[in-house]
Amino acid sequence: MLCIRLGDLTVGIENRFGYLPKICKDYLAPCDAMPLFTVRPTQAELDAERALCAPKRLPDAYLESVVAHRKIAEQLPMHGAMVFHGAVVVLDGRAYAFTARSGVGKTTHLLLWLKAFGERAYVLNGDKPILLWRDGRVYICGTPWKGKENLGEGGILPLSGIGFLHRSEQNAVKPLAPADALAPFLAQVYMPKNGAALLETMALCDKVLSSVPLLSMHCNMEPSAAIVAEHGFRELTEKEKPL
């Protein structure tokens, strides 16, 4: 059995194949750690997942990681956390998350920050980070599920902003009200099937949107897009500082 660390949470996975230990090697919990809960992907669940996928020949080892991730996502809300579909870059110790519809270019925008800011920036997660509510503040952490580019690492940081990304020929950003961010944000959050976990997820969404600076980002594919976005986040942060 694997024990992995996701932010401040320890989770167990009863795996049968070698793919999960490979992708989770940088997230392993100490040997004596006790998991909050343990997930157990079954062969029936793997077969059901394969039926939904294309191509149908995906190996069981990979499907086990998909099912394990979903089963973890189902239980996280009961521990003040949820899976978020987005990409996270850290600049000078501040974590910024970007989300958008598939194909808009989250990963491309992420890489623009690395190009624009060099060693000052790194990727925390490229696809499926976890949002956590702790002591009245929103945090974000890396997970082994990093997307096809495999960008990311472990760690947990306060979330300094969420950017809702749109493609545009010209770079422009503006603050986004929580009410306007609600629908696109909910579209990128894992919604559990369990009723109690779903209620916890909705409560956590409200806390995130009311606590974190939100930015509407219309960006092109030039490094200047990252500079404009960072300036927009910085302005929002400055406005929120007490006088």
| Cβ–Cβ < 8 Å for 201, 77 | yes
Give yes or no for a cis peptide into 55 (omega within 30° of 0).
Answer: yes
What is the per-residue pLDDT for 56?
Answer: 72
Mean pLDDT of 12-35: 94
Q: What angle do CA 118, 124, 130 make, to 5 degrees?
A: 155
| Cβ–Cβ < 8 Å for 58, 180 | no
70-124 confidence digits (pLDDT tens):
999 999 999 999 999 999 999 999 999 999 887 777 888 999 999 999 999 999 9
Bridge-partner residues for 161, per DSSP?
96
| Cβ–Cβ < 8 Å for 115, 219 | no
The confidence band for 239, taking pLDDT boundaries of 50, 70 and 90, is low
Percentage of the chain lying above the pLDDT 70 cut: 98
What is the per-residue pLDDT for 243?
Answer: 40
Measure the CA–CA gap between 104 and 85, rounded to whole angstroms. 13
Structural domains for the chain: 2-79 (no CATH), 81-240 (3.90.228.20)
179-221 confidence digits (pLDDT tens):
999 999 999 999 999 999 999 999 999 999 999 999 999 988 8
